[in-house]
Amino acid sequence: MSELKKFLHDLEDFELASFYHFRFNSFMKNSKEKILNELKSRNIKEYQIDKYLLKLNEKIELEIEEGKVCPKCYSDKFYNSTEIENITIQFETIRYSENYKTCLICLHSQDKIESQKEKNSIWNIFSVIKLLKKS
Ligand SMILES: [Zn+2]
């Protein structure tokens, strides 16, 4: 069994629906077929995908707050990726690696968004200092 096929096979119905909903168009023909086959084997029709997507409720809201599920598709399947980030402060570029918890289903990463916010605010502090020095 191919890795994608196995991955799809192990998903819950709503996860498969989210996977289709968020990512189907980014796949090549071969992989698209595997996704469609998995839908077919579960008797989920493409036009009914929305019906399988989870609706936000109190329980899910709580789980999002606790970081247990993805805030975008509500799946609890995450992976950790380490990426090299650059931050440029006053002509100097600092490289560092950052761990991101990323959703396997829709690729949403709350960590990445938070870290981006942080990065922007660091940059803002430095640009303010720079501006103050100039005046
Ligand atoms: Zn997700």
Ligand 1 centre distance from Cα of residue 129 (Å): 38
Q: Are residue 82 and residue 44 in the same domain, yes or no? A: no
Q: Is residue 47 part of a domain?
A: yes
Ligand 1 centre distance from Cα of residue 108 (Å): 5
Q: Is residue 72 part of a domain?
A: no
Cα 49 to chain centroid, rounded: 19
Q: Is residue 105 part of a domain?
A: yes
Ligand 1 centre distance from Cα of residue 15 (Å): 9
Measure the CA–CA gap between 79 and 111, rounded to whole angstroms: 12
pLDDT, tens only, 27-63 = 999 999 999 999 999 999 999 999 999 999 999 999 9
Q: Is residue 65 part of a domain?
A: no
pLDDT, tens only, 85-130 = 777 777 788 788 888 899 999 999 988 888 888 877 777 777 777 7
Number of domains making up the chain: 2
Ligand 1 centre distance from Cα of residue 49 (Å): 16
Q: Are residue 127 and residue 82 in the same domain, yes or no? A: yes
Q: Is residue 66 part of a domain?
A: no
Residue-number span of the structural domain to which 98 is assigned:
78-134
Ligand 1 centre distance from Cα of residue 110 (Å): 10
> Is the pTM above the cut of 0.85?
no
Place of tokens 């992989």: 31
Q: Are residue 8 and residue 49 in the same domain, yes or no? A: yes
